Amino acid sequence: MFSCKPWARALINSIDKVDDDFEEIIVRFFKLLVRKKRVRYINPVMTEVKNILNRRQGIITVCAEYAFPPQDGFESSLCELIKKQTGASGVELTGCVKPELIGGYRLRIGDKIIDASIRGQLRKMKGCLMEKVE
């Protein structure tokens, strides 16, 4: 199985070692991917490179799902709240509308999920009721 992390780390470490001519390193890296028949993995490798660089700079990636399109200013205040709560220097927020949430939102920060949706609350309520029945 192919793992993107070692490839991404190798590219970043190579670039870190030189001061100015990192274009040649990138070209060599792409040639290596082609030679090793791994070019189809370029997008996941570049995503991992971006994740590593974001972690170095203290930027966290957040995926937000909303029941309805957010009102003006909601996303910026959400980013500020996340920065304050996590101590991150920046937040990279991507959002999408998911009507099945019924209301509210769900945040995915790394491997942590914060579910503030009506659907999530209904699911919890159902679980509590099922416990009481048993």
pLDDT > 80? residue 51:
yes
Integer Cα distance of 128 and 134 in angstroms: 10
- Average pLDDT of the chain? 91
Antiparallel, parallel or unpaired: β 90-97 and 112-117: unpaired
Is the pLDDT at 21 greater than 90, yes or no?
no
Indicate the pLDDT class of residue 23, thresholds 50, 70 and 90: confident
Q: What's the predicted TM-score (pTM) here?
A: 0.70
- Residue 61 has φ and ψ, to the nearest 5°, of -100, 130
Task: Say whether pLDDT at 134 is over 80.
Answer: no
pLDDT tens-digit map of 81-102:
999 999 999 999 999 999 999 9
At 66-84, the pLDDT tens digits run 999 999 999 999 999 999 9
* Per-residue pLDDT at 18 exceeds 90: no
